[in-house]
């Protein structure tokens, strides 16, 4: 790696895929506990479940 590559590189996590927006979402404690019980990566699995529901239902 030379100095030009070091200057061009940005700090932080690399951008991957679709951008995301932080929100506040209220879910039942049992639903949250169920996803957390699946271990690390539960947030991604929760997002995947929501995306799958949206694909099945179609846009409103």
Read off the pLDDT of residues 21-47 as tens digits, 9 standing for 90 and up.
Answer: 999 999 999 999 999 999 999 999 999
Within a domain: residue 2?
Answer: no
Within a domain: residue 47?
Answer: yes
Domain span at residue 43 reads: 25-60
Within a domain: residue 13?
Answer: no
Say what the pTM is. 0.66
The answer to whether 38 and 45 are in contact (CB under 8 A) is: yes
Within a domain: residue 20?
Answer: no
Report how far residue 27's alpha carbon sits from residue 24's, in angstroms, rounded to the nearest whole number: 10
Where residue 16 falls among pLDDT bands split at 50, 70, 90? confident
Within a domain: residue 8?
Answer: no
Within a domain: residue 17?
Answer: no
Within a domain: residue 37?
Answer: yes
Instruction: Indicate the number of domains in the chain.
Output: 1
Q: What angle do CA 38, 40, 42 make, to 5 degrees?
A: 60
| Higher local confidence (pLDDT), 9 or 50 | 50
Within a domain: residue 60?
Answer: yes
What tokens were used for 2? 């030379």
């Amino acid at each position: 790696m030379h100095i030009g590559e070091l200057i061009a590189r940005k700090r932080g996590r690399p951008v991957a895929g679709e951008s995301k927006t932080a929100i506040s979402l209220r879910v039942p404690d049992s639903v949250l506990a169920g996803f957390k019980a699946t271990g690390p990566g539960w947030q991604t699995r929760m997002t995947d479940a929501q995306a799958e529901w949206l694909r099945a239902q179609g846009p409103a």
